Amino acid sequence: MLRVALPNKGVLSEPAAAMLREAGYRQRSDSKELVTLDPDNGIEFYYLRPKDIAVYVGEGTLDLGITGRDMLLDSGSPADEILSLGFGKSTFWLAAKPGTATSLSEIANLRVATSYAGLVGKYLAEQGISAQVIRLDGAVETAIRLGVADVIADVVETGATLRQAGLELFGEPLLESEAVLVRRSTAAPVEGLDLMMRRLQGVLVARNYVLMDYDLPEDKVDDAAKINSGLEGLTVSPLHRANWVAVRVMVPRREAQRLMDDLWEIGARAILVTDIHACRL
């Protein structure tokens, strides 16, 4: 039986459950449930605090988990990322009141408040900066106003929280984070893991790609392939119109509009874009 840890609350919780549902796994129906069995797939899902997930997986108590890359690094746990999941994206930054510091080197001997003390401590040590790390549980922005710290190191998504606290970013980002699937590097093979990886990869492709269909003069097929030849080459079918063919190709969703423009330029017409609901590559 595969045992998988998922965030029980917070920003990663719903998107993680949605992704697993999309991949065909049963998820809890009540947010108070701590464990759910998916008998059809032989999996037990454990709903845990996102920060604890890397600890359980690193110790080998659970086979797999979904957590943030920042939380994985913060935990110092011997678990590895095995798949990036494309949601829960954030950037980890230093911030302070304007005029406090413009670069990392200027925070030497200052107090840095964070709820990611493991991650920040390691980063400062690697960069050779000696600053005092103040470990807090959350709402670290307020630590500066209350005089507990001079600088904060925290997750930034929109920047709205920082702006409200009158703080600004400085230096370089410490980390780009997103939700990741984690597994202990030394763990023994476990049944159901390869299947789950394939299914999740299928969900990622279905989310990130669209299907493009168009009609094209036959002598333009090579030009079309140069614009985009999909994952495994163009599918070219006969069209009931002399010297024309129908083409089907998978393209990255974010490039779809530009590709339609380029294909139109070489003579493609009736260009259609449709969502992919599921796939297995």
Ligand X SMILES: Nc1ncnc2c1ncn2[C@@H]1O[C@H](COP(=O)(O)OP(=O)(O)OP(=O)(O)O)[C@@H](O)[C@H]1O
- Residues lying near ligand PRP in the complex (CB under 6 A) are found at 138-139, 141, 154-161
Using CB under 6 A as the binding rule, whether residue 165 contacts ligand X is answered as no
- What are the C-alpha distances in Å from 188 to residues 37, 56, 64, 184? 22, 15, 12, 9
* Least distance to ligand X, CB of residue 11, Å: 5
Residues facing 213 on adjacent strands: 248, 272
Residue 154 contact partner, candidates ligand X, ligand PRP, none, CB within 5 to 8 A by sort of partner: ligand PRP
Residue 50 contact partner, candidates ligand X, ligand PRP, none, CB within 5 to 8 A by sort of partner: ligand X
Using CB under 6 A as the binding rule, whether residue 113 contacts ligand X is answered as no
Residue 194 contact partner, candidates ligand PRP, ligand X, none, CB within 5 to 8 A by sort of partner: none
Edge-first strand listing for the sheet containing 235-238: 235-238, 244-252, 209-217, 269-275
Q: How many CB atoms lie within 10 A of CB 136?
A: 18
* Least distance to ligand X, CB of residue 115, Å: 6
Q: For residue 106, how far is the Cα from the chain centroid?
A: 32
134 versus 250: smaller Cβ distance to ligand PRP? 134
Under a CB-based contact definition with an 8 Å cutoff, are residues 169 and 162 in contact? yes
For ligand X (CB under 6 A), the number of binding residues is 15
**Segment contacting ligand X by CB under 6 A, of 7-15, 33-41, 141-149, 182-190:** 7-15
Q: What's the start-to-end Cα distance of the chain, in Å?
A: 25
138 versus 233: smaller Cβ distance to ligand PRP? 138
16-55 residues in contact with ligand X (CB under 6 A) are 50-51
| DSSP strands (E only) in the chain | 2-7, 35-38, 43-48, 64-68, 79-84, 90-96, 111-114, 132-135, 151-156, 168-177, 179-184, 209-217, 235-238, 244-252, 269-275
Using CB under 6 A as the binding rule, whether residue 90 contacts ligand X is answered as yes
* Least distance to ligand X, CB of residue 49, Å: 6
Look at the alpha carbons of 150, 156, 162, 168 in this order and tell me if their dihedral is positive or negative.
positive
* Least distance to ligand X, CB of residue 33, Å: 18
Residues that bind ligand X (CB under 6 A): 9-12, 50-51, 68, 70-71, 88, 90, 138, 155, 157, 177
